[in-house]
Amino acid sequence: MKTMRETVDVLVAGGGTAGHIAALQAAREGARTAIIEAGTMLGGTMTAGGVYMPNHFFSKTGPVVQGIAWELYCKSKAVEGLPIPDWTRRRPQETPGYYSYINVPIYAAVAEEEAVQAGITLHYHEFISAVASAGNCWEVTSLGRGIRRITTAREIIDCTGDSDVVRALGLEVMYDQVRQPGTLQYKIEGIAHEEIWEQEVQTLYEEALAAGVIARGDFAYPNILPFKYYLDHGGHNATHVYNADTSDSDGQTAANIEGRARMLRMFKFVKNRVPGCERAVLKTMYPFALARETYRTLGEYVVTKDDFLQAREFEDKVCNAFNYVDMHSQQEGCELYFHEDENLVPKIPFRALIPKGSSRLTVAGRIVSAERFALAGIRAQCTCMAMGQAVGAAAALAIKRGVPSREIDSKDIVALTLAHGAAPV
């Protein structure tokens, strides 16, 4: 195994939903930036994970998240040759906003192209194995096939989804024994939807469940949606993986095995027992099962349920958070909670992105410092991207000023993100 050494200003751990945006923001402001990503591409849950509908860029009344995230979305649509959806023409009734859909290979390639143009050094297929303080810098060891890399960085942004850096440093995290189920994304095509009768397929689903042909969790939303929803979506984003914990390789393996078993069981049921599905084809399966929550960072502030539902105006707010709360559970399936006023837009305070007692380290994405209920709303993909842009701006400003990122004023962070197209906070 060869040892490689590298020196950067900002090291982003994880190139997923939050991480690729954080890196772009830092690099575009002149910081030498690198990404260490255990997977094969940028975008994380949106791309390799197959949840290809970032939500929500807009509310009913206007833009909530824009900036680099919206820029990449628009560039990917241009490559597809598709128009940018006009939010004013949407009529969101089911949710206070609406989902935007990406083409996974195009978005991943566009994000990578932008990263290369910004001068970001990309290290795929590597994971962080150790982090140590080295004066005013960090020394980060990462491992890949045949490579041991030692990176010296002045700032680290943890966007791993599992608080990998935070845990490696022995900082405090929050971890609940009861967690939201995860999911494995796949797509069944070839269903003759005109032959589907809603009540018939509902009865067939309930009979198969009672007989043990399929299992609870194979369809994630039985408490709020009919089984026809599963068929309408070809099974996409409609299966639960119980107790999913992707924070280590054993947990990821177990989640993948369970997710694929559920996928195969449902495909056999649909194809063999549901009229109109005789020509169904299991067309797509994404490589990673996903967790909705594992280790969250304990920050200088913990966003509470009331903070989120009341859209508290934090003095140190750095970005918007917009989503209803969809709390998944093994017992119920999925429970939805909405804000009393559709004009309420929750905010994310900078303190929730700073691990408690740390310096030169920030976090973004689903490892934000938040109570479980608040996290169930904050973890929406657009919000994760907005958090990424905020901490990328904080890191870039810290490098320019020669101070730790935690000392950067939140108003300066917002000003910089606004200069890069972010929505007003």
In this predicted model, what pLDDT tens digit does every residue of 264-314 receive, in sequence order?
A: 999 999 999 999 999 999 999 999 999 999 999 999 999 999 999 999 999
- Whether residue 364 is predicted with pLDDT greater than 80 in this model: the reply is yes
Structure confidence at residue 420 (pLDDT): 98
Q: What is the pLDDT of residue 218?
A: 98
Q: How confident is the model at residue 99 (pLDDT cuts 50, 70, 90)?
A: confident
pLDDT on residue 75: 98
Q: CB–CB of 303/348 below 8 Å?
A: yes
Nearest alpha carbon to residue 363 among 298, 414, 424: 298
Say if residue 20 is preceded by a cis peptide, omega within 30 of 0.
no
CA distances from 250 to 16, 138, 244, 253, 255 (A): 20, 28, 11, 5, 9
CATH topology of domain 2-177+295-323+345-419: FAD/NAD(P)-binding domain (3.50.50)
Q: In the chain, count of helices (H) and strands (E)?
A: 11, 15
pLDDT at residue 40 is higher than 80:
yes
Residue owning tokens 């845990």: 167
Alpha helices (runs of H) in 155-248, residue ranges in sequence order: 164-168, 198-211, 228-232
Put residue 386 in one of left, alpha, beta given phi > 0 → left and psi -120 to 50 → alpha: alpha
User: What's the confidence (pLDDT) of residue 342?
Assistant: 82
Mean pLDDT to the nearest integer, 332-360:
93
For strand 121-124 and strand 33-37, is the pairing parallel, antiparallel, or unpaired? Answer: parallel
With a CB cutoff of 8 Å and minimum separation 6, the contacts of 250 are none
Contact 389, 358 (CB under 8 A): no
Q: What residue spans define the domains of the chain?
A: 2-177+295-323+345-419, 186-285
Among 150-159, 271-280, 327-336, 415-424, the range scoring the smallest mean pLDDT is 327-336
From residue 290, how far is each of 57, 182, 245, 249, 368 by CA, in Å? 22, 5, 8, 13, 17
State residue 220's pLDDT score: 97
pLDDT tens track for 182-213:
999 999 999 999 999 999 999 999 999 999 99
**What CA–CA distance (Å, rounded) separates 145 from 137?**
26
- Report, as an integer, the average pLDDT of 25-50: 98
CA atoms of 345 and 45, how far apart (whole Å):
24
Query: Quick one: pLDDT at residue 97?
Result: 81
- Is the pLDDT score of 81 beyond 80? yes
| Amino acid in the structure at residue 7 | T
Amino acid in position 347: K
In angstroms, the CA 113 to CA 25 distance is: 14
Question: Which two tokens mark 244?
Answer: 């999913």
Q: What is the pLDDT of residue 61?
A: 85
What pTM value is reported for the model? Answer: 0.97
